[in-house]
Structure 1
Amino acid sequence: MRATDSAVLAAVDLGASSGRVITGRVTAGRVDLAEIHRFANRPVRLLEGLRWDIHSLYTGVLDGLKAAGEVDSVGVDSWAVDYGLLDADGHLLSAPVHYRDTRTDDVPEQVWQTVPAEQLYARTGIQHAPFNTLYQLVAAQRTAQASIASRLLLIPDLISYWLTGEQGTEVTNASTTQLLDASTGTWAEDIARPLGIDLTLFAPLRAPGDKAGTLLPDVLQQLNWQRQVPVTTVASHDTASAVAAVPVGPKDHFAYICTGTWSLVGLELSSPVLTEASRLA
């Protein structure tokens, strides 16, 4: 970037209790951030269980982008593991299930009878949590929605799809599904197949920095923007973006503490630690 260059980027950051739209004005050696709009993320309890009010969240995203004014690119991140199911026409079948819903309470023990916990960790590197996407998908098997679903989009990819009409699965959020091979960065077929999970439900993988699409004409009209604006794939698991933003050099050794709805302590390493000792710890 030349010293005279500048760009204004919009970050859509969706957390488990609130969402926000932030602009970053990027110039050589400097980023100036401004929170443009913050909105509540209130789950709803329906007859079928605890659900995310995804349409309210999307409205908050549009309100924030409209308030930001025309920008040079948009990126979307969110919490992990949760998803929406689309039918063959690309329409959302129902409000996405909240990870705190009780449908997965007894599912991990069922899964481990087919794929042992040791194997799951050695392949995916994901610590046990009963709401991981893998367990949610097993819990949803034999439901009417599962039988007609043609596509599964994780939450930030769902928002990007509504903005652009393009479907993809960003890798950092995909890694939280407990279905991605931590060593190869590809889907773990040997984990999914015995559990009856159809990995073709997922859109093609894409990496941070990839173009996710361009804002649809209808979206531009709602925002009162006049020119085409790209949506850029970011590290869409919010923790991944937070860690990537730590200002250290490639040879620095550092630990991080990331505190939000959950608190995480970790290291940035050149390769994942997938040992049994790590799992037990």
Structure 2
Amino acid sequence: MSEEAHFLAIDIGASGGRVILGRWDGSRFALEDIHRFANGMEERDGHLFWNVDRLWREIQAGMRRYAACEDDARLKGIGIDTWAVDYVLLDAHGAPLGDPYAYRDPRNEGMAELVDQIIPPQELYERTGLQRLPFNTLYQLYAERNDPRLAAAAMLLLIPDFFHYRLTGKQVAEYTNATTTMFLDARRRTWATDLLERLGLPAHILPPLVMPGTRLGPLSPDVQQAVGFRSPAEVIAVGSHDTASAVAAIPGLDEHSAYISSGTWSLVGVERTEPLINEEARQFNVTNEGGVYGTIRLLKNVSGLWLLQECQRRWNEEGLHLTWDAIVAQAAAAPPLRCLIDPDAPEFLPVGDMPARIRDYCQRSGQPVPETVGEIARCCLESLALRYRQVIDALEHLTGQSISTVRIVGGGSQNALLCQLTADACRRTVVAGPAEGTALGNILVQAIATGHLPDLATARQAAAASVPQQVYTPQTTVHREADSR
């Protein structure tokens, strides 16, 4: 048997990060947590920021832990993925011009409408194929148009590309994350610099694009020394948008499958080879984002477990200190379908008192008001499941492809109640797992780039051999539609 090959996946989401070791024995991957850490937005002077220096320290801590207990001569690659749309501005010397704003920052309010006055929404969608969301990078940049630090910027790096830069010294933009900016041409797969210029925004700060699977080069000598690696380690641009990596790891994904990458957000979509851009797609507000190895992720962003994460944070502040399992257990015991919300309603986007917002929404819409933890949690989960059904039915209509299976990856795949509710609401079989799909997809692209796997299809077969999956079949049919729509 060939020597075991190692790959490190650095996977950072909006609520937490992890450094995961993937061990490849030639037929399957074994995943092992090396380091986990919390993440979250920090409020300063009325704005929300990401503390990228702290995240950088955590990344190095995970690499040190690997170096301390493993033979790094086996390490064939390091890949990083994070959430999308946010960015770091660098000055002419390559130093950050402050911490990056977080996408939930209130400065984005009203920016989409201001941009509409210069570039009509129909034209913007025709070029970018991107879902209209108030925090798209284009709108964030327009909010900073008069900010001195934008005027001083020599380079814009999306969050994973900033860490690529810290690891290697290379300033590039990985394609899958670049497609979330709203200034990349979806068909040509190149920067749409003219869109920035029409808005009076600097286009010269955009780095060159690279495709997932690009070998960026070794760690810089300073980083190698700082983390204690004895052998050179190569950094590989994976699907640096975490959803792109998650979708890469879905076993059995075919033309009759929809996927849900379930975490803080739920990304509900199908995989294609070309963008689908027309007026009907724009009206439904679906997005065409880049995937790995020539694929396109036709999807819709749905507010995901953020709803319950914010509820849990509020309940903890009130002294309840409920675990995730306890919340889900109370939801399972609560009466079904008493009230429903629109998970994507604007009032649920910002940080705040989520239980109060849910109660207010139900009261305004003439529904029973949920009061207990179980009732509120059940309302969130049932509302998400019904929203998934709406999106999947629409994707089936838009593409003309029948969808018989829903494949859920990410942390939400471990929530048995949500998975069963999704099967019931969507009236389709649900296959849940892998839970660490993002890290596994990150590792699969590294393995393809280094020649350990030949292609994406084979990589997905390896994923199926490496991780457990759970099947949920519809048990009841949910006929009630959300009257909040």
Please give the TM-score of this superposition, normalised by the length of structure 2. Answer: 0.56
Name 2:401's counterpart in structure 1: none
CA offset at residue 5 of structure 1?
Answer: 4.7
Distance 2:45 2:242 in 1: 30
1:265 pairs with 2:263: no
Name 2:193's counterpart in structure 1: 189
CA offset at residue 118 of structure 1?
Answer: 1.2
User: Which residue identity lines up with residue 105 of structure 1 in the other structure?
Assistant: E
Stretch of structure 1 that moved more, 7-16 or 43-52: 43-52
Stretch of structure 1 that moved more, 266-275 or 191-200: 191-200
CA RMSD of aligned residues (A): 1.4
Q: Is the 8 A contact 1:168 1:212 kept in 2?
A: no
CA offset at residue 170 of structure 1?
Answer: 0.3
1:10 pairs with 2:8: yes
Question: Any residues of structure 2 matched to 1:111-122 within 5 Å, and which?
Answer: 111-122=115-126
CA offset at residue 25 of structure 1?
Answer: 1.0
Distance 1:166 1:204 in 2: 10
1:158 pairs with 2:156: no
Instruction: After superposition, give the CA deviation of every residue in 1:44-78 in whole Å (9 maximum; x if it has no partner).
Output: 11126111011111111111111122222100000
What's the secondary structure of 2:190's corresponding residue? coil
Instruction: After superposition, give the CA deviation of every residue in 1:163-218 in whole Å (9 maximum; x if it has no partner).
Output: 11111000000000011111110011332221122222111100111112311111
Q: Is the 8 A contact 2:41 2:49 kept in 1?
A: yes
Stretch of structure 1 that moved more, 78-87 or 120-129: 120-129
Distance 1:18 1:63 in 2: 15
Segments of 5+ residues of structure 1 without an aligned counterpart are none
1:244 pairs with 2:244: no
Match of 1:96 among 90, 100, 125: 100
1:207 pairs with 2:205: no
Name 1:222's counterpart in structure 2: 226
What's the secondary structure of 2:180's corresponding residue? helix
Instruction: After superposition, give the CA deviation of every residue in 1:123-166 in whole Å (9 maximum; x if it has no partner).
Output: 11111111110001111112110111000000000011111111
Distance 1:227 1:88 in 2: 32
Q: Is the 8 A contact 1:165 1:213 kept in 2?
A: no
> RCO higher in 1 or 2 (8 Å CA, sep ≥ 6)?
1
Instruction: After superposition, give the CA deviation of every residue in 1:207-253 in whole Å (9 maximum; x if it has no partner).
Output: 1111123111111111111111110000000001100111237x654
The number of equivalent residue pairs is 278
User: Which residue identity lines up with residue 34 of structure 1 in the other structure?
Assistant: E
Match of 2:62 among 64, 76, 88: 64
Name 1:31's counterpart in structure 2: 29
The sequence identity of aligned pairs, in percent, is 45
Q: Is the 8 A contact 1:152 1:201 kept in 2?
A: yes
Distance 1:51 1:213 in 2: 30
Distance 2:217 2:97 in 1: 23
Please give the TM-score of this superposition, normalised by the length of structure 1. Answer: 0.95
Name 2:47's counterpart in structure 1: 49
Question: Which structure is higher in helix share?
Answer: 2
Name 2:303's counterpart in structure 1: none
User: Which residue identity lines up with residue 280 of structure 1 in the other structure?
Assistant: Q
